[in-house]
Amino acid sequence: MATSADVALAEAAQPIHPEPTSFWRRYVFSIDHKVIAKQFLWAGCAFLVFGGVLAMLIRWQWGFPGQKVPLLGDVFLRGTGGVIAPGTYQQIFTMHGLIMVFFAVTPVLVGTFGNFLIPLMIGARDMAFPRLNMYSFWTFLASQLLVVASFFTDLGTGGAGWTNYAPLSTQVGMPGMGQTLVIVALFVTGASSTMGAINYITTVIRLRAPGMTWSRLPLTIWALWLTAILNALFVPVLGAAALTLLLDRHFGTQFFIAGASAVRGGGDPIAYQHLFWIFGHPEVYIMVLPAWGIVGDVLSFFARKPHHWYRGTVGAMLAVTLLSALVYGHHMFVTGMSPLLGQGFMLFTLVISVPSMVVVLNWLLTVWRGSIRLTTPMLFALGTMFVFGVGGLTGLELGDISMDLYLHDTLFVVGHFHFTMAAASFTGAVTGIYFWFPKMFGRQLDERLGKAHFAVTVVGMTLVFGGQLLAGYAGQQRRLFDPYQYTFIQGLHGLNRNVSILAFVLFAGQLIFVWNVAKTLLGRARVAGANPWEVTTLEWTATSSPPPFHNFDRIPFVLRGPHELGDAEVKGLTGRDFAGQAEVLPAKSGTAAAGGG
Amino acid sequence: MPIALGDHGVGPAQSPPGVLRSLADYRGRDRERQEITARVGMLVFLGSWIMLFAALFFVYGSVRSRAPAWPPPDQPRLPVLLPGVNTGAMAASSAALAVAQRALQAGRHRACGAWLALAAFLGATFLSLQLAVWSGLWRAGLRPSGGTYPSAFYGLTALHALHVVVGLVALGMLAARARAGRAEQLGVDLWAWYWHAVGAVWLVLYTTVYLV
């Protein structure tokens, strides 16, 4: 039981520091978690556009192979007269995947929301290690610059696929500095993620406000905390893979070089695949867990009901975190693994869908019979629920070995992971941006533009990635430069072309969001109050929008859980249908209010 | 002080609500809390960092289990004695560091500095012996490009040695600070954890790469 003495202790442990006044200390080399969150947001969004343009080039190649690329062709592809060449195509799909996973979605989901929300939602004045937090961002920026630099090398950027499978990613398959820079960038961004993870984990353990017990943590914080644990444990495995790959590329070692290219002995390319997927599968959950948390909280807030079976969702997320380390082999069913091992991985893969479905069913039951407010964040949360459902169900088909033998390396796989990583993670992040935008910037985004953006995005994604599922089910292999050289794929040209056009519309539809943000930040947008959504968590109920440098004038004293919504008793006392986590309710009659904060 | 996860320090029995004890008392506790936070952070870091080496050992095990013969018959065998001496140097260095921690706890800054310097010296000994091992094998014709056996050997030992270098720099700086009477217990303790972890990795490395 927390006491008011704990509040005094928390105040003493996190004294209010004066806000830095110089421009550099305030906006550039800032140690303020809110500024760092915005830096991650802008850096991530810039690369979202970058990765998105590359996606459009891939879609152009599938829809209109051998034709001159409009607009971009004259600028970037002058050497081939505006047409995408096979080698360039390989680099385009490689960098699309790499950029989206490591340099766009991860920084937005983990970097932005982890930094912005963790201290604010647990009632802390900053991260446990603010300076480390700053290094984390600058390390990340350095990794992004390495990626950009790789495009300007002699042989161009990396082209070994986003997974960088050896031996294609060794000097034998991809000579040149570009591939090396990309691998170094992976290592550096991994170092940044690890720094962030250390900060997140420690902050949640140590700096929760008095009364903020583990069972009162918002689901977003639970999700971000578990994500950080996965990051801390498994990103170093990617680091080890990158290091050994670099040793192979530049120090003459032969860990992964095999076959005719190995002078003697010969390494084990499959060892690289193991390393990559030991990291890679937890990474899938690193990208989706924060979205789960955000969606869970947002659904509860706008259904005006407590989240259904909060403990069940937390337990399910814990189970997913544990199981995510035991399923990676399903990426390697056709690589050549012991069948027994393969069956084990299949079992765990199918088992992990049980906690996932607990999460999804809890969302459904949260919305069930709620007093739903269809705001933009709520729409995006519902949309995330839908696209994640499709992604999860197609995952079951791929997790089954006998199905996977047929579907492996087809566009069905691409459609599946786009529904989860591109659609669910992305819309989850967008949910968060719409929801916390007033807190971050003190202004509210335009709801009408937001709803238009929602319609284009969720319908567009469903059709585009659904088209990939269809083409893959019909047998179209992923990564083919010109799929129509195969007669059995020629019949899919029409489907691919239509999906490509839809993809262009989807991309263009994101301009609505860009316009919305620009208009809101630069124009005369509605100034948001402290709590425009009428919700309960500390960042809305215990501080202003945007919060001051020190977050809370007084460290809040948490009295209740995160979803105190629609309670008749609260309504009787306050006239509102919600109560802040640290709000002291007026006494019924005569009895003095207990606690304080 | 054990690390109490989520412990807010003061229970209701010690300080009933509304009765605030003197601020000085809080200040003292406040420092303790921050130190625990730093220790938690360091533990997370070490756990994360151990995973890097766990993954490297995984690669080693993987390539070795697929090799027809280990070591390949035409390649030089790794020495056992010199790295064995090195294992002793690493252990002695860790022990010296532990003594340095105790000395600082007792407030004996100069003794702490001396023990830190000894730990650093033993670490430097480790590095120079490791250099001798490398150059001996290099002269015997073992090159990284000679297959997975030399790859694993050079790769693992080099990445470990890099961590030793980082530790050496830190120990040297801490020793200088302790001599000047400005060493802080927290800094010494956290670097000691790091150093012990580097030593533990070496023990695994020695056992799996040189001995088995």
Q: pLDDT (tens digit, 9 = 90+) per residue, A398-426?
A: 999 999 999 999 999 999 999 999 999 99
Residue among A525, A551, A548, A520 nearest A538 (CA): A551
Q: A8 or A90: which carries more pLDDT confidence?
A: A90
Residue A261: what pLDDT? 55
**Cα–Cα distance for residue pair B56/B159, rounded to 1 Å:** 10
Asked if A264 and B17 come within 8 Å (Cβ–Cβ), the reply is: no
CB A156 within 8 A of CB A574: no
Assess whether pLDDT exceeds 90 at residue A181.
Answer: yes
> What is the rounded distance in angstroms from the CA atom of residue A90 to the CA atom of residue A136?
31
CATH number, domain containing residue A62: 1.20.210.10
- The verdict on A268 touching B (C-beta cutoff 8 Å) is yes
Cβ distance B56 to A240 less than 8 Å, yes or no, reads yes
Q: What is residue A152's predicted lDDT score, i.e. its pLDDT?
A: 95
CB atoms within 10 A of CB B34: 15
Tell me which of B5 and A125 has the higher pLDDT. Answer: A125
- The amino acid at B23: L
Residues of B in contact with A278 (CB under 8 A): 55, 58
Interface check for A262 against chain B (CB to CB < 8 A): the answer is yes
Task: Specify the pLDDT at position B29.
Answer: 61
Contact yes or no for B27 and A194 at CB 8 A? no
A233 vs B contacts (CB less than 8 Å): 47-48, 51
Taking an 8 Å cut-off on Cβ atoms, the answer to whether B17 and A5 are in contact is yes
How confident is the model over B12-58, as pLDDT tens digits?
Answer: 334 433 334 444 444 456 778 888 999 999 999 999 999 999 999 99
- What tokens were used for B201? 């990795």
The angle at the Cα of A308, spanning A305 to A313, to the nearest 5 degrees, equals: 135
Residue B102 lies inside a defined structural domain of this protein: yes
Interface contact flag, B145 A129, Cβ < 8 Å: no
Flag whether residue A261 sits within 8 Å of chain B, measured between CB atoms. Answer: no
Residue B203, SS3 per DSSP: helix
- Comparing CB atoms, the residue among B20, B47, B151 nearest residue A254 is B151
pLDDT of res. A151: 95
What pTM does this model have?
Answer: 0.93
Mean pLDDT across chain A:
93
Residues of chain A contacting residue B6, judged by C-beta atoms under 8 Å apart: 205, 208, 213-214
Q: For the domain that residue B94 is a member of, what is the CATH number?
A: 1.20.120.80
Taking an 8 Å cut-off on Cβ atoms, the answer to whether B55 and A237 are in contact is: yes
Lowest mean pLDDT among A159-173, A374-388, B24-38, B173-187: B24-38
Domain membership of residue B132 (yes or no) is: yes
CB atoms A255 and B26 under 8 Å? no
One-letter amino acid for residue A536 of the chain: T
Residue B71 domain-assigned (yes or no):
yes
Q: Which residues of chain A have a CB within 8 Å of the CB of B23? A: 12
Q: Complex ipTM, two decimals?
A: 0.92
- Report the number of distinct structural domains present in chain B: 1
Which residue from B minimizes the CA distance to A595? B17
Q: Does residue B136 surpass a pLDDT of 80?
A: yes
Q: Which residue of B has its CA nearest to A231?
A: B48
Domain assignment present for B82: yes
Chain B residues with CB under 8 Å of A129 CB are 41
pLDDT digits (tens, 9 = 90+) for A256-286: 988 655 555 678 899 999 999 999 999 999 9
Q: Is the Cβ of A210 closer than 8 Å to some Cβ of chain B? A: yes
B21 to chain A: nearest residue by CA?
Answer: A5
Residues of chain B with C-beta less than 8 angstroms from the C-beta of A201: 40, 44
Residues of chain B contacting A592 with CB distance shorter than 8 Å: none
The pLDDT score that the predictor gives to residue A589 is 55
Considering the domain boundaries, does residue B29 fall inside one?
Answer: no
Looking at the structure of chain A, the number of domains it has is 1
Residue of B nearest to A265 (CA): B147
Residue from the list B14, B44, B67 with its beta carbon closest to the beta carbon of A201? B44
Proportion of chain A above pLDDT 90, given as a percent: 84
| pLDDT score at A158 | 93
- Please tell me the predicted confidence (pLDDT) of residue A260: 58
Task: Return the closest-CA partner of residue A137 out of A164, A170, A110.
Answer: A110
Tell me whether A213 touches chain B (CB under 8 Å): yes
Whether the CA torsion B196, B201, B202, B206 is positive or negative: it is positive
pLDDT at A314 over 80: yes
Nearest to A214 among B6, B21, B49 (CB): B6
Among B5, B41, B155, the residue with its CB nearest the CB of A244 is: B155
User: How distant is the Cα of A173 from the closest Cα of chain B, in angstroms?
Assistant: 17
> How confident is the model over A205-256, as pLDDT tens digits?
999 999 999 999 999 999 999 999 999 999 999 999 999 999 999 998 989 9
Asked if the structure places residue A554 within a domain, the reply is no
Min Cα–Cα distance to chain A from B187, Å: 15
Q: Which residues of chain A neighbour B5 with C-beta distances below 8 Å?
A: 205
Q: What is the predicted pLDDT for the residue at A337?
A: 84
Please check whether residue A436 is in contact with residue A117, taking contact to mean a CB–CB distance below 8 angstroms: yes
**Cα A590 to Cα A4, A579, A587, distances in angstroms:** 22, 21, 7
Option in B18, B44, B152 nearest A232 (CB):
B44
Nearest chain A residue to B47 by CA distance is A233
CB contact under 8 A, A197 and B44: yes
Overall average pLDDT of the A456-474 stretch: 97
Tell me which of A24-33, A452-461, A571-580, A585-594 is least confident.
A585-594
Alpha-helical runs (H) found in A77-176: 86-98, 106, 113-122, 130-150
Residue with tokens 């399903």, as numbered in its chain: A330
Confidence band of A472 (pLDDT split at 50, 70, 90): very high
Domain for residue A592, yes or no? no
Q: Is residue B5 assigned to a domain?
A: no
CA distance B21 to chain A (A): 8
Chain A residues touching B162 at Cβ < 8 A: none
- The alpha-carbon gap from B111 to the nearest alpha carbon of chain A, in Å, equals 31
Range of the domain at A405: 4-14+31-541
Please state, in angstroms and rounded to a whole number, the distance separating the CA atoms of residues B32 and B165: 31
H helix intervals, A408-446: 411-417, 425-441
| Inter-chain residue contact A5 with B45, CB threshold 8 Å | no
- Total beta-carbon pairs less than 8 A apart between chain A and chain B: 167
pLDDT of residue A455: 97
Mean pLDDT is lowest, of A59-73, A303-317, A545-559, B4-18, for: B4-18
Q: Is residue B96 part of a domain?
A: yes
- Alpha carbons A415 and A421: distance in angstroms, whole number: 10
Instruction: Write down the pLDDT at residue A264.
Output: 58
Domain that holds residue B92: 42-211
User: For position A362, what pLDDT does the model report?
Assistant: 97
- Which among A576, A594, A567 is positioned nearest to A540, based on CA atoms? A576
Which residues on chain A are in Cβ contact (under 8 Å) with B11? Answer: 3
For a pLDDT cut of 70, what percent of chain A falls above it? 97
Kindly state whether residue A24 falls inside one of the protein's structural domains: no
